[in-house]
Amino acid sequence: MNLKESIKKVLREERNHSKLIVKLLNRLIVSKYEDVCKIEVVHPSVDSDYDFYRVFVYFNQHGKNGSKYWEENILNEVWEYVHDTFGISPALHSVRVPSCNDNKLNENSVDTRFNRIKSMVDEFGVFNTIKALGSYTKFKKIYGDNLTKDEKVILIRELVKEYGEDGDYIDVMPYDIFVEIDYNQTDSYDYTTEVIYVNKGGYFNFRQYSYDDELDDYDWEDYHNGSEYLFVLSESELENIIRVIFERVIHK
């Protein structure tokens, strides 16, 4: 029985084709290209956060053919083999290692959820990774607090473009987001600052309320408006804005 007939037989008998895909790609890709070190395939059943196959291709970063263009051509070839043979449209991930003799290749490095998400973030960005997972809650559970400040600002801007009013802004005023910033303040006054909305340009608009000693509270009827760049906020404040957008505005 040749390889093609073997594939057809297995396709009829089982639903998890991971091992057969690896076998096919080892023969058609790994044996053909010396700078392709290894291929791993992860079936959706391994993790309920995914509903698609993922193929990880390990490249020797110091090999003869280490260009990004060459790697992309190999990934395209992998995708075509898997799709044409199995009718599967896999997510592809390239992993660059110091050499094909690297011991890490024997550690099943994609067997942790964090590493798989990190690979997706590096290749597709935070926003697209969250969309693939289906919710920010799932993403946070796996990825933790590892987003940088830059990534958080970029994520907010992408959320506005995707889900905002005409792609321009998202109104977050009803959800009591208060931040600490210095804006037209003097030592004589105590202020609290509430975020009104965030926009696609990476700015947020706010209202700043002064404290009234007679009321023993902030005067919510007396305020002035302002605008600042998101980068002036702390990472925890940016995180709070992201959480509110997902949970309260787009419900994901």
- 41-63, pLDDT tens digit by residue? 888 876 656 678 889 888 887 77
Residues found in the chain: 252
- DSSP H or E run through 59: strand 54-60
Query: Sign of dihedral through CA atoms 231, 171, 138, 155?
Result: negative
- 90-113, pLDDT tens digit by residue? 888 888 777 777 655 555 444 457
- 135-192, pLDDT tens digit by residue? 888 888 888 888 899 999 999 999 999 988 888 888 887 777 878 776 555 444 577 7
Q: Please, what are the domains in the chain?
A: 3-111 (3.30.300), 149-249 (no CATH)
Query: Sign of dihedral through CA atoms 104, 142, 195, 183?
Result: negative
> CB-based contacts of 227: which residues, under 8 Å, 6+ apart?
203, 204, 205, 206
Integer Cα distance of 153 and 103 in angstroms: 37
At which residue do the structure tokens 């992993």 appear? 95
Give the three-state DSSP class for 45.
helix
